[in-house]
Amino acid sequence: MRVTVFGGTRVRPLQHLGEAQSCFLLTSDDQWSDSVWVTDDRDAFEFAQSRGILTRGTVELFRALVADGDLTPDGAFAVLQDIYAERGLRIPSSPRELL
């Protein structure tokens, strides 16, 4: 699965290993059947959804935190900006988009 689905290579044996292991666990062990898998990798997201895994992206996770009152839109947006600065995550253009 790591090589076929996620594009891992023999030269980089750990590339995408976490994604492959997570998807395998979520589809093969009933105790994880109600889990939500968070990923920002588009191919991994689509693959997981095609396997019936409840999948969300980081921005969706932060929207839920705002909706539940755990973070303000400004606080969530600040954290997302920090994540963006570290790794280029696609984020909303303003805190209002987290409402």
SS3 80: helix
Q: Please check whether residue 20 is in contact with residue 1, taking contact to mean a CB–CB distance below 8 angstroms.
A: yes
What pLDDT, in 10s, does the model give residues 36-74?
999 888 888 888 999 899 999 999 999 999 999 999 999
Among the listed residues 78, 69, 77, 75, the one whose alpha carbon sits nearest the alpha carbon of residue 97: 77
Q: pTM of the prediction?
A: 0.66
Most confident of the ranges 3-7, 13-17, 65-69: 65-69
Query: For residues 86 and 22, what is the distance between their CA atoms, to the nearest angstrom?
Result: 23
Query: For residues 20 and 37, what is the distance between their CA atoms, to the nearest angstrom?
Result: 12
What is the average pLDDT across 23-43?
89
Given pLDDT bands bounded at 50, 70 and 90, which one contains residue 4?
Answer: low
Mean pLDDT of the chain: 84
Supply the pLDDT for residue 1.
52
